[in-house]
A and B are shown apart, each in its own frame.
Chain A
């Protein structure tokens, strides 16, 4: 019990530390005193604009995206009872990408890009759900196959869009595909979805522990598995859609964060889900800060940084556990 408490406390401390790092780092480094003066409203001017209009919205967006993806990933792993599941496995991000890239190709503004990304993911969510439910039969394998095939279909459309795109627009499209937070200036909706998602899904925590051991087990112990299945599917899809709308398809976070927590000994979904939000959010904050500062003034897409950072950490933990 103390070990679990220690992990949760550590993650609770990690969030403000990463936030501080994100707000201080950049073309102009700021010390904590200046930061505090700006945040408490004592200082106005250039520093205030820099922090309140640029760094803070971007940092909060990063946290929201990381939290959303980690939570969605953990949920989809239970739903499909497949450790390889990530938020994009059922094609939600593919649908979003087709919407977003289509808008980018037509040269539409960022509101259009976000709007069509969200629409694309919703269409995919309904399509996959509908197709995997025809004639009332439902299995994990069927949902997984439907989702993977729809995702592959979107992948083909994405390739076609990239081929037809004029050269000057290709880079923006690639950034979107790898995940990029430079356009993410309005974190409000993402944070709200994250908060609502956590609050709605937490009461299901203990039931999800059973569900992870099989639908039969959950049903025999008194759970309504149809309800769990549908809520988890809709929640995971909406969380993913919000993340993708905000930052494009950032890879790795949703797959790796839940596993990192499992490797750290957290297997109870009542703790794993909120911890995934904290760890996913912090990890994204760290990755995005590095993405915009390491090669400054050049910016890297945050998705490449999450993978570059996450791979060695994850492999280290994996080999460590294998030896123990």
Chain B
């Protein structure tokens, strides 16, 4: 059974159709990259798959059940979302922000236990932020704050993770490290990642499946290696591409 699936899913925004009658199953162990130009509907599709936004047509299934019928708290235990941006108008410590990932696992009156705090600190260590637990969110750099958001997602510990540009603001070392971490997670039984990415080569290296959103509303999906070639990328992004191939595989870059 698929962990997450789109059934005849249509997604639109402001009267424009972004994808139409999409039928795709996200199976355990897979890492999906959603690729497309700015404004092609990647975020809208991701939010629809997360059950945060109603689709224009069709439905999303989480573990075989219509996502709209899944109880909110249970849904939050099973699927996690990393948003493109985060905001912090009020001071809050890094530890508290990461601990918010435990929210769906606690009953309304329950406080975070020592085990929860430990989990949060482990997650911070995984993203190299363990030394910042007591700092205020507002004092962090953009990349550090991104890593805190990712640590919160790891603390939530949902088997289905939907990530919107997880590499935003990250330096090259942490781009590779975070994708490695996410890939490792997806290898645990019953886990899957679906992420919006802009780096085609990192997608090829860390993801196995791809979903391409073209500007004209066409939507293609399949294994990444079978999907991606120069012609497709040129159509996807609307610019010239070059491909370099060696024994380890291909890299694409805009010419």
A residues with CB within 8 A of B: 77-78, 81-83, 203, 206-207, 209-210, 212-214, 216-217, 219-224, 262, 267-268, 270
Contact = CB atoms under 8 A, between A and B. Distances in A.
B52 interface: yes
Contacts of A210: 100, 103
Contacts of A224: 72
A203 B90 contact: no
A262 B90 CA distance: 8
Contacts of A212: 89-90, 92
Contacts of A82: 89
Given A82-B89, A209-B96, A209-B100, 19 more contacts: A78-B90, A81-B89, A203-B109, A207-B103, A212-B90, A213-B88, A213-B97, A214-B87, A216-B52, A219-B52, A220-B50, A220-B52, A220-B81, A220-B83, A221-B104, A222-B73, A262-B90, A267-B93, A267-B96
A256 to B, nearest CB: 15
Residue from A203, A221, A224 with most neighbouring chain B CB atoms (10 Å): A221
10 contacts: A78-B90, A83-B89, A209-B92, A213-B88, A213-B97, A214-B86, A216-B83, A219-B52, A262-B91, A267-B90
A215 to B, nearest CB: 10
A57 B90 CA distance: 36
Contacts of B193: none
Contacts of B109: 203
Contacts of B189: none
A81 B77 CA distance: 26
A222 B74 CA distance: 8
Nearest to B71: A222
Interface of B: 50, 52, 72-77, 80-81, 83, 86-93, 96-97, 100-101, 103-104, 106, 108-109, 111, 156
Nearest to B108: A203
Contacts of A216: 52, 81, 83
Given A221-B156, A222-B103, A213 B87 contact: yes
Nearest to B153: A220
Contacts of A217: 83, 86, 100
Given A212-B89, A220-B76, A206 B103 contact: yes
B103 A221 contact: yes
Contacts of A78: 90
Contacts of B87: 81, 213-214
B90 A83 contact: yes
Contacts of A267: 90-93, 96
A37 B92 CA distance: 47
Nearest to B97: A213
Contact of A222 (B76, B83, B93, B97): B76
B89 A268 contact: no
A84 to B, nearest CB: 10
A137 to B, nearest CB: 13
A268 B83 CA distance: 22
A314 to B, nearest CB: 15
Contacts of B90: 77-78, 81, 83, 212, 262, 267
A206 B108 contact: yes
Contact of B92 (A206, A213, A221): A213
B80 A268 contact: no
A222 B86 contact: no
A262 B88 CA distance: 14
Residue from B75, B91, B111 with most neighbouring chain A CB atoms (10 Å): B91
Contacts of A268: 96
B116 to A, nearest CB: 12
Residue from A214, A217, A224, A268 with most neighbouring chain B CB atoms (10 Å): A217
A9 to B, nearest CB: 18
A308 to B, nearest CB: 26
Residue from A78, A207, A212, A262 with most neighbouring chain B CB atoms (10 Å): A212
Please name the 5 residue pairs, one residue from A and one from B, whose CB atoms are nearest each other, closest first.
A222-B76, A220-B81, A222-B104, A222-B73, A222-B72
Contacts of B156: 221
Contacts of A206: 103, 106, 108
A207 B72 CA distance: 13
A213 B80 contact: no
Nearest to A262: B91
B163 to A, nearest CB: 12
A221 B106 CA distance: 11
A268 B93 CA distance: 10
Contact of A213 (B50, B73, B76, B86): B86
A163 B123 CA distance: 63
A221 B157 CA distance: 11
A268 B103 CA distance: 13
A223 B81 CA distance: 13
A221 B100 contact: yes
Residue from B50, B80, B92 with most neighbouring chain A CB atoms (10 Å): B92
A221 B96 contact: no
